[in-house]
Structure 1
Amino acid sequence: MVAGETSGDLLSGLLLDGLLRRWPDLQAYGIGGAMMQRRGFHALYSSERLAVHGYSFEVLLKLRDILKIRSALRSQLLQERPAVFVGVDAPDFNLGLERDLRAQGIKTVHFVCPSIWAWRPERIHKIRAAADHVLCLFPFEPALLAAQGIAATFVGHPLAQVIPEQPDKQAARQALGLAMDAPVLAVLPGSRRAEVQYIARPFLQATALLLQRLPQLQVLLPAVPALYDQLQALLSELGLSDRVQLLPGQSHTALAACDCTLIASGTATLEAALFKRPMVIGYHMHPISWRLMRRKQLQPWVGLPNILCQDFVVPELLQDRATPAALADAVQQWLTPEAAPQVAAVQDRFAALHQSLLRDTSTLAAQAIETLIYA
């Protein structure tokens, strides 16, 4: 298995739950993170090694290391010939590896259909060459792939199982020592180092503005372990160390506790939607990466909740529009008493979205992999 980034590690851990129920003596190895290793996964390399930000410019800076890892892993897998290879997301890394393995007779599964319906539609040809089977998180994807001759199964989104349909805000606030009667903002600037480089500063500058306007505001900042010190230093630089609660991980607790979240575009926006939280989606990347990405974009939305709802349910402030003042204004609109009807409407949309994604993901995925292995 190969999983890139924190979100891929989470998905892989849930997939391993289903595989281990079917095969208790399963041996799984490759590239992964902490969630996978807790299930006994042997990580030859950390998923952090694959974490990059942007479309091409930042990738080039790490390209030698990434290609070296992929070459070494390819050689090992071709020699050891596992029963199946599962590439979890990270399509730029995994699809090429899957193609080479499949050409040599190793069965391949790609978990998470690349977002060909949102951007880079030419990837369909790479998927067809790479994957014997695709495990899809969204219900419309298998038919799209089948039309291109690619076998696929909708397994639901595992986060829809992990996140309760009715999150307990009071319990989460108690766990974090927060006041019950004051508003709470969760700030999630991403889980990759380069994301934090581009996004964390304007997010926290917006937070500083909000704290001036709303003195009772309580602010949570979950941080993955690799980025904790970086965010702590930024809080100190901006004079926010005493006003922002920096959390070691605990993003789900923060989302359960908050009234609103200021959040970087990515999987975390879907998590926030499943927690039924209004949000402001922001993103910023290197200008070269931004221009390349925009040329490939097929839909007017970038945030997953808006894409899945096919509507601007929540605001998106991207690139030059993601200024501290604009971000603060957009967040403040969710926190006013007058916003109550809009908040309720968003919660209803997200509740329906949750239902559409709710399946026994780990079992369905394991069954699809078993069928492929014994075909």
Structure 2
Amino acid sequence: MRVFLVAGEPSGDRLGGALMEGLKTLVPDVEFDGVGGPLMQAQGLDSRFPMAELSVMGLVEVLPKFFHLKRRIAETAQAVLDTQPDVLITIDSPDFSLRVARQVKEQSSIRTVHYVAPSVWAWRPKRADKMAKVIDHVLALLPFEPPYMEKVGMECDFVGHPVASEPVASQAEIAQFRTDHDLGDAPILLALPGSRRGEVDRLAPIFGAALELYLEDRPDMRVVVPAVAHVADTVAEHLKTWPGNPVVVDPRMVDTDLAATNKRAAFAAAEIALAASGTVSLELAAQSTPMVIAYKLTWLTQKIAERMVKLDTVTLVNLVSETRSVPECLLDDCTPETISSALRAVTAAPGTQEKAMTVTMDRLGRGGEAPGLRAARAVLERMTP
């Protein structure tokens, strides 16, 4: 069996890696081709070009790279057509992935699967109709998503999220992490300003100023910043002006397994986290780390988004748990003053998010079959006539 996969950012690489591991369990002689990051490469993918080239977010931010991305779309689609895999699996990054799928479908009958349902319940509901023209099967991360996809004619399976099957950091791992990074017994604040250079450049100065205010009352607290590989240098540069004697956890310095261990140990060791909006809220919930979510867009992207978004929260923990337990500082409210106030409020009531995080993990499949294996099984079962 030959599988062509395309992932465009770290969260997609994570999903892809788990899916590939599941496919290898069920079909030992499976062959992989496509585009992915270090976790997919660890499962045997020789990426056709660096995945980091595709890690662009925002309606405005894409424009400077438009022609390069357009070439990569055509190049990727042609690779699929040339190799004729049994299935094309695109993972999130819909602006890139679905354009690849469209070009493939225009010239072939290759089966297409998209991993991560578009958030049509939040904004731009017509995306599902357009997607149905080029995608046969959707793998959904959230339990309420399949009806939206099936309504427009696509097959859809809820497969859970890989974060729900990840181990919780042990006390030994936490202790080793503290020793390795010279943190002693200091309380830790985790800061996660994003996985893309644009958002790091946008958020890091705001986060730094917010921490300056918050740490006035917590001079003993250390700031720890786990970074994804392709923005680690950017993060380190911004941290030169941050308070809290910050430590960058750089995954490039160790092997893949130790990098994953260090990351979950950092998450579990933290008393509180300040994070950019995204999948990271689920990673924090998996380690039971209280959090504040903050995000700011460029001015034009924000104005466009304000007209499209239909929800009063963007945080996945809030959405899956059907609560509003995690405070958000978004758009115009993404200021040092608002963020520092939210951090103080969470610190003053550390248990208020505990139930929402537990419910989120349960609903995403914790304790059941690994989501990567469920996703692999769903792909194979739908391919069977």
TM-score tier by shorter-chain length is over 0.9
Indicate the SS of the match to 2:351.
helix
Shift in CA distance, 239/220, structure 1 to aligned 2, threshold 3 Å = closer
Distance across 2 between alignment mates of 1:25 and 1:267: 31
Which 4+ residue blocks in structure 1 deviate beyond 4 angstroms?
Answer: none
CA distance in 2, matches of 1:312, 1:169: 30
- Is residue 380 of structure 2 the alignment partner of residue 370 of structure 1? yes
Shift of residue 373, structure 1, vs aligned partner: 3.1
- Of the candidates 183, 192, 196, which is equivalent to residue 192 of structure 1? 196
Q: Given the superposition, is the C-alpha separation of residues 363 and 232 from structure 1 closer, same or farther in structure 2, using an over 3 Å criterion?
A: closer
1:217 maps onto 2:221 in alignment: yes
Query: Which residue of 175, 178, 181 corresponds with 2:177?
Result: 175
Secondary structure of 1:36 counterpart: helix
Aligned to 1:40: 44
8 Å Cα contact 1:169-1:258 kept in structure 2: no
Partner of residue 136, structure 2 = 132
Q: Are residues 1:228 and 2:232 paired?
A: yes
1:66 and 2:69 equivalent? yes
Does the Cα contact within 8 Å between 2:325 and 2:352 map onto a contact in 1? no
Corresponding residue of 1:301: 313
The alignment's TM-score, normalised by the length of structure 2, stands at 0.90
Note if contact 1:281-1:315 (Cα within 8 Å) is conserved in structure 2: yes
2: CA distance between counterparts of 1:374 and 1:302? 37
Contact kept in structure 2, 1:185 and 1:218, CA below 8 Å = yes
Supply the distance in 2 between the matched residues of 1:73 and 1:149 (Cα, whole angstroms). 26
Shift of 1:114: 0.9
User: Which secondary structure does the structure 2 equivalent of 1:212 belong to?
Assistant: coil
| Residue matched to 1:204 | 208
1:268 to 255, 275, 280: 280
- Match for 2:224: what amino acid? L
Amino acid at match of 1:85: L
Q: Runs of 5+ in structure 2 lacking a partner?
A: 252-261
Q: Does 1:106 align with 2:110?
A: yes
CA RMSD of aligned residues (A): 1.7
Contact 1:83/1:373 (CA < 8 Å) preserved in 2? no
How far is the alpha carbon of 1:148 from its aligned partner?
2.3
Instruction: Return the match for 2:245 from 243, 247, 252.
Output: 243
- Measure, in 2, the Cα distance between the counterparts of 1:171 and 1:83: 41
Using the TM superposition, give the Cα deviation of residue 77 of structure 1 relative to its aligned residue in structure 2, in angstroms: 1.3
For residue 356 of structure 1, the aligned residue among 355, 360, 363 is 363
Q: CA deviation at 1:169?
A: 5.7
Amino acid at match of 1:251: K
Within 1, Cα distance between the matches of 2:317 and 2:384?
Answer: 37
**1: CA distance between counterparts of 2:70 and 2:242?**
41
Deviations 1:18-41 (A, max 9, x none): 111122222211111010111110
> Which shifted more, 31-40 or 171-180?
171-180
Aligned to 2:92: 89
How far apart are the structure 2 equivalents of 1:234 and 1:94?
31
**In the alignment, which of 239, 257, 260 is matched to residue 269 of structure 2?**
257
For residue 345 of structure 1, the aligned residue among 336, 340, 352 is 352
Question: How far did residue 255 of structure 1 move?
Answer: 1.1
Residue by residue over 1:169-208, the C-alpha shift from the partner in whole angstroms, topping out at 9 and shown as x without a partner, is: 674244223344x432100001111010101111112122
**Amino acid paired to 1:278:** P
Asked if the contact 1:183–1:335 (Cα under 8 Å) also holds between the matched residues in 2, the reply is: no
Q: Does 1:318 align with 2:358?
A: no
CA contact (8 A) 2:318 2:356 kept: no
Q: Partner amino acid for 1:226?
A: H
* Cα displacement (A) at 1:120: 1.5
Deviation per CA, 1:236-274, whole angstroms, max 9, x where unpaired? Answer: 2x164x711111144322211111100000111121122
Answer whether contact 2:36 2:50 (CA < 8 A) is retained.
yes
| Paired residues, number | 364
| Residues 210 and 174 of structure 1: CA distance in aligned 2, closer, same or farther (over 3 Å) | farther
**2:24 corresponding residue in structure 1:** 20
Q: Give deviations 1:296-324, integer Å, cap 9, x for gaps.
A: 10111111112223332111111221111
Task: Choose 131-140 or 167-176, whichever is displaced more.
Answer: 167-176
Aligned twin of 2:259: none
User: For the Cα contact (< 8 Å) 2:15–2:372, is it kept in 1?
Assistant: no
Equivalent residue number for residue 282 of structure 1? 294
**Alignment partners' CA distance in 1, 2:42 and 2:376:** 18
Deviation at 1:331, TM superposition (A): 0.9
Instruction: State the alpha-carbon separation in 2 of the partners of residues 169 and 295 from structure 1.
Output: 46
| Amino acid in structure 1 at the alignment position of 2:72 | I
CA contact (8 A) 2:177 2:266 kept: no
Q: Is the 8 A contact 1:169 1:256 kept in 2?
A: no
Whether 1:10 aligns to 2:17 is no
